[in-house]
Amino acid sequence: MVMYLSEADNPLLVYLGVTVVFGGVILYRAKQKRAEREISFCCGLLSLFVLEILCFATLRSSLGLAIFSLACFLCCFYIPAPAMLPVERKAVLITGSDSGIGHEMAKLLDHLGFVVFAGVLNERGPGVEELRKSCSERLSVLQLDVTDPQQIQEAFLEVKKKLESADLWGIVNNAGIMGFPADAELLPMSNYKQCMEVNFFGPVEVSKTFIPLLRKSKGRIVNISSMAGGIPIPKFAAYGASKAALSMFSGVLRQELAKWGVKVAAVHPSGFRTSIQGTPEMWNKLERNLLEKLTPDVKEDYGEDYLLALKTFLLHIPNASKPDLSPVLCDILHALLAERPYGLYTPGKDAYKSLFVFCCFPLWFYDHFISRIETYSKVPKALRAAETKGKNS
């Protein structure tokens, strides 16, 4: 059935509908291509807006709508390609290269021709052995516990000594821990302090130590935060707070170092399968520590079954995470080499979607939206008892 737009119809709604649909497609394609926010792209969108006004004001008919729709359609496929810098003479330090994102990023950058300094927590671990087997001689392994100021200083001196034909172009602050996911009331203070030490104070000290080298090269700092660092997620109070602190630090650093030509980016990945959760042995240790620190009244209110079920939530995380790390690696690479990198990257569809809901909708809607994460949680014993009593009364 063919529909014709008559003068009696309201073309404004149709124009708005076309604008929303095509605008969403254009922005989505720009994000997928990681297109640079260059003048040409902004001018293209501005031209579309001017064309829309002209079509609506002068034609106000199906002809004007057709012209505007055609222009939007063409714009969907004309997304400027990202302008990337050459790799030559560029060295990058990556913390937390034992496994996960840092490990894969070290291999990728080495393959592309970077001089890579892979900071690891255990220089005799299996991850280091794999790096040495699969990477070139350009890659250097550094013993680097980001919570140890002496190791950070030793890594700085080692990097400075080895930088002969290359400049330190970038730092990727990737090292991090998640801790034991539990209600904020249940988490012992040691969990909060450890998350802050590794996820926040460590990257801060590494950045402060190496910034003098980055100012000379006008290089990059890439801080791997988390979706939990941009939005509140139940059971991640300690982890989320430390990553939120890192994201705020990234934003301030981005503004302050801009005058030196140094660019800073924060990356907020959604659920990707890494080793940040730790091992089952570590989970058991954290669980015992949690149970030992709880007061009797808190234990009674929550109930033993609720406390033991927290490990079920932890075990579910790998199953709900994506094994393909390429979206994160591509965004880190863009942050390191793009002429105009973004200040924030959100690899993974859930990260951007959740951030959008949190920023653009009322908090009650966001709380309802995020509550689906709680589907693997039990109800505390005291609340179950109160609910049963209410039904019986």
Active site residues: 239
Residue ranges of E strands in the chain = 90-94, 115-120, 140-143, 167-173, 220-224, 263-267, 344-345
Closest among 153, 145, 135, 140 to 93, alpha carbons compared? 140
What residues form DSSP beta bridges with 388? none
End-to-end CA distance of the chain: 60
Is-contact 137 167, C-beta < 8 A? no
Q: What is the CA radius of gyration of the chain?
A: 25
Is-contact 191 179, C-beta < 8 A? yes
* Cα-to-chain-centroid distance, residue 271: 9
d(CA 373, CA 393): 32
What residues form DSSP beta bridges with 115? 91
d(CA 176, CA 200): 9
> Half-sphere exposure of residue 232, counting CA atoms within 13 Å on the CB side?
10
Is-contact 40 80, C-beta < 8 A? yes
